[in-house]
A and B are shown apart, each in its own frame.
Chain A
Amino acid sequence: SQKIEQNSEALNIQEGKTATLTCNYTNYSPAYLQWYRQDPGRGPVFLLLIRENEKEKRKERLKVTFDTTLKQSLFHITASQPADSATYLCALPPTDSWGKLQFGAGTQVVVTP
C-alpha cells in the first residue's frame, strides 16, 4: 500500500540553525511533491512544489530536494526563526490521482530563541 512517512518526533532547534525534515514514501511514482505548513487551529498553507525532474527548489530561506531513486524529499529551513515553529506536512498525489493529495502526518518544528 502507499505510505508517506515523516518523523513523528518534534524537532527542537535553536534560532539561527538549519532545520532538516524528511519525507519518505513507498509505492508511489509521484509527478511532484508538495510541502505545507500548518499552525495550530489553522488549515495547511502551501509552501513549495517540486516536480520529479527537479532535484532542488528554493524559496527564500526554504530549500527542498527530491530524490525519486531514494523515494525521499528533504525540507530545509535555514537561519531558522521562532516564527518558523509549526508543523510541516509533505503531500503527494497518489497513483491515478484526479488531483487529490495524500499527506504525511507531519513533523512539528519548535525554534527556540
Chain B
Amino acid sequence: GAGVSQSPRYKVAKRGQDVALRCDPISGHVSLFWYQQALGQGPEFLTYFQNEAQLDKSGLPSDRFFAERPEGSVSTLKIQRTQQEDSAVYLCASSLDMNTEAFFGQGTRLTVV
C-alpha cells in the first residue's frame, strides 16, 4: 500500500474487554514500531520489531499488553482486560531500517468505558 494502515480507526471497549489493533506497514519495511499517545503529549514508545523479531518491548506498560508480527509484515497489538488508563491513540510506524525516517499510520483511538 501507499502508506501505513491501521485498523480500526476508533475502538470503544468496555473495561475488562480484550482488544486487538492491527497495523499494515509499508511493504518492504523491516522495522515496525508501536507508540502510545495521550492527549497533548508526544508519542511514547511501546515496542519495536525488526522483521518478525521483537527486539525491544521495554515500553509496554504491563503484561496485559502483547504485540506480535509473526510473518514480518502485519503486526497486532493486543491489550487484555482493558482499563480506563489504556485510553489513548495507538500509533504504528514503519521504516526501511532502524535509524531512518519513520512513517506513521493514522492511529487507532481507543476509548475504554
Hey, which bits of chain A sit against chain B, CB under 8 A?
4, 31-32, 34, 36, 41-46, 49, 89, 91, 93, 97-106
By a beta-carbon cutoff of 8 Å, the part of chain B in contact with chain A is 4, 31, 33, 35, 40-45, 48, 50, 55-56, 59, 91, 93, 95, 97-99, 101-107
Q: Is the CB of B33 within 8 A of A100?
A: yes
Question: Contact between A105 and B101 (Cβ–Cβ < 8 Å)?
Answer: no
> Is there an interface contact between B103 and A99, defined as CB atoms closer than 8 Å?
no
| Chain A interface, >50% SS class | loop
What are 12 A-B residue pairs whose CB atoms fall within 8 Å in the complex? A41-B106, A42-B106, A43-B91, A46-B101, A46-B102, A49-B101, A98-B48, A98-B56, A98-B98, A99-B31, A102-B45, A103-B43
**Bound Cα distance from A34 to B104, whole angstroms:** 14
